[in-house]
Amino acid sequence: MAALQSVVVETTPFDDQKPGTSGLRKKVKVFMEKNYTENFIQCILDALGDKVKGATLVVGGDGRYFSKPAINTIIRIASANEVSKLIIGHLGIYSTPAVSAIIRQQKVLGGIVLTASHNPGGIRHDFGIKYNIENGGPAPDYITDRIYDLTRKIKQYKITPALETDRIIDVLGTSKFNVEGRDFTVEIIDSTKNYVNLMKEIFDFNKLRALIRGTESTPPFNILLDSMNGVTGVYVRAIFVDELGASPDNNVCRIVPLDNFGEIHPDPNLTYAKDLVDKLQADNNYDFGAAFDGDGDRNMILGKNAFFVTPSDSLAVLANNLECIPYFKKHGIHGFARSMPTAAAVDRVAAKLGKEIFEVPTGWKYFGNLMDAGRLSLCGEESFGTGSDHIREKDGIWAVLAWLSVIEHKRMSVEEILKEHWKIYGRNYFTRYDYEECETQPANEMMKQLEGLIASGTLVGKSYSAGNKTYKVEKADNFSYVDPIDNSVAKNQGIRILFEDGSRLIYRLSGTGSSGATVRVYIECYEKENVLSDAQVMLKPLVDIGLQISQLKKFTGREEPTVIT
Ligand code: G16
């Protein structure tokens, strides 16, 4: 085989390649700009230093528009940078949790994940690239900071232009190349096999099959899973239809991954997964519903008649019932964790069970060290993320299997399980207001104004009233976190206004958007006895106070949020 030659291409830096909460996310047309994708890929490899030489990396993503050209670029650049092997999901498809799983199973250096997660896809919408490290989790801040630094200085990238990539990801199998005398291998593998095996090890599939199919003495438990045209479709088919006997006609929907997600917003919340909500409300034969996002790490859980489980409650309920899942019987239950804006329901479970509880900044990457140190078994975020230490990403399919295991074990409906939980622990009412695509400058000014209020010290001790409620501020700060394992510090992770009765108001700017600013306001209160009220009604006074303190309407010009969760 004649050796292929690599070349060095001169380039200039882009000033907007700072990775956000989970990787670099931009409009497709930005990634299409000359050298934009090439620069970023080269900087990821440079950030890894010498370790990249001779290394194996995993590549895959949610299959959104621009995935194929991006994979071809990665193949050519990796080969020129002395990577020895790429393991790529068939057709470029790999859910984010499945990438995490295969990185761990194959014990490789890391992976490049091509996704903008829950952001819309297609030529007019978003693309994204992120790097996951050898534990299978998103790169920590020190690596993404290094990548960003490099993107601001890059002068050249290396590439093997003659390496034939056309249709390479369409066919399972191994291709070998000689690049300047070195062996370079591309292996295209089935994207589901390893992940399905992992789920079989974690859960009792026989019990779950009996739940879904029914038995002589129990009727089928009727589920409806909505993949929202995202990547989970292939996993839903492999696990729920092929393994657990769910009906491909009645129990699953939108399971063919589309590169534009069928022009929907693949974000599993009450606004963007309204189709599923409507279906469950219209047909009370369904006992359970769940939706997933584009790359399969987020989940939304619904009960009969679309009874909504907040992600914060979902985490707490799972924490309280983990022992019915074989994986936790085998590995034990260590600590729990949640991101700072996530309601504190799981903290109460941790206290009762005598487990450690951690509060980390928003971003799954902050859970990784705790898991690697054996101090964290289960964690979650209000942003529809739930997962465990089986991998280092949140995992939508896992969350549904976990919920079905709890239901199978308790023989109760979703609503009954929640009501029982609130009776024992009280209820952390929670809602999140999103103001999407605001202008960046006024949104920044609003945050600055809040910073100023905190710095002035005038908030603490002040009382605010709305409706028939009065709340007194106990503490106000900009959240900062010291990682208990490596002592790294993450500052400015969200404005917190904490009230004497435990209620909280949190303000953050989203780190996952591709343009403009999305303001998120998180509102939480706790009730010991009054647990069956409507969350929006309960939280209305605090919402009004939150809008008053932030002057959100004045700064953003928005009368109403885009999404209420
Ligand atoms: C990403 C991270 C999550 C995080 C979320 C926050 O989610 O993986 O850990 O909670 O971003 O988003 P934002 O900064 O917009 O509030 P994903 O699903 O987009 O990868």
Note down pLDDT in tens along the chain; length 565 residues: 779 999 999 999 999 999 988 899 999 999 999 999 999 999 999 999 999 999 999 999 999 999 999 999 999 999 999 999 999 999 999 999 999 999 999 999 999 999 999 999 999 999 999 999 999 999 998 999 999 999 999 999 999 999 988 889 999 999 999 999 999 999 999 999 999 999 999 999 999 999 999 999 999 999 999 999 999 999 999 999 999 999 999 999 999 999 999 999 999 999 999 999 999 999 999 999 999 999 999 999 999 999 999 999 999 999 999 999 999 999 999 999 999 999 999 999 999 999 999 999 999 989 999 999 999 999 999 999 999 999 999 999 999 999 999 999 999 999 999 999 999 999 999 999 999 989 999 999 999 999 999 999 889 999 999 888 899 999 999 999 999 999 999 999 999 999 998 899 999 998 777 778 999 999 999 999 999 999 999 999 999 999 999 999 998 988 899 989 8
Binding site membership of 511 for ligand 1 (Cβ less than 6 Å): yes
Q: How far is CA 72 from CA 78, 169, 434, 467, 468, in A?
A: 10, 9, 36, 58, 61
Chain-centroid distance, C-alpha 460: 34
369 φ, ψ (degrees, to nearest 5):
-60, -40
Please indicate whether residue 385, judged by its CB atom, sits closer than 6 Å to ligand 1.
Answer: yes
First to last CA, the chain: 58
Q: Is the CB of 365 under 6 A from ligand 1?
A: no
Q: Indicate yes or no: pTM above 0.85.
A: yes
The token pair at 354 is 């005598």
Find the 512 Cα to ligand 1 centroid distance in Å: 6
Q: Are 240 and 213 in contact (CB under 8 A)?
A: no
H helical segments located in 89-185: 96-106, 141-151
Q: What are phi and psi of 412, to 5 degrees?
A: -130, 160
The conformational region for residue 296 under phi > 0 = left, psi -120 to 50 = alpha, else beta, is left
SS3 341: coil
The torsion of the CA quartet 284, 218, 386, 336, rounded to 10 degrees, works out to: 130
Query: Is residue 382 lining ligand 1, measured as CB closer than 6 Å?
Result: no
The catalytic residue positions are 117
Give the whole-angstrom CA distance, residue 421 versus residue 404.
Answer: 16
- Bridge partners for 114 per DSSP: 61, 129
Residues in the chain, total: 565
The CB of 367 under 6 Å from ligand 1? The reply is: no
Cβ–ligand 1 distance for 392 under 6 Å, the answer no
Angle at 154 between CA 150 and CA 157, to 5 degrees: 115
CA angle 46, 50, 51 (to 5 degrees): 100
Residues 6+ apart with CB under 8 A from 233: 227, 254, 255, 256, 257
How close is the Cα of 118 to the center of ligand 1, in Å? 9
Domains defined for the chain, CATH in brackets:
7-191 (3.40.120.10), 194-425 (3.40.120.10), 427-564 (3.30.310.50)
Q: Give me ligand 1 centre to Cα 145, in Å.
A: 18
Tell which one of 18, 22, 520, 563 to mutate to probe ligand 1, the residue whose CB is within 8 A of the most ligand atoms. 22
Nearest to 108 by CA among 59, 175, 62, 146: 59
Whole-number Å distance, alpha carbon 303 to ligand 1 midpoint, is: 24
Residue 210, Cβ neighbours under 10 Å: how many? 17
DSSP 63-91: --TTHHHHHHHHHHHHHHTT--EEEEEEE
Atom of ligand 1 nearest to the CA of 339: 10
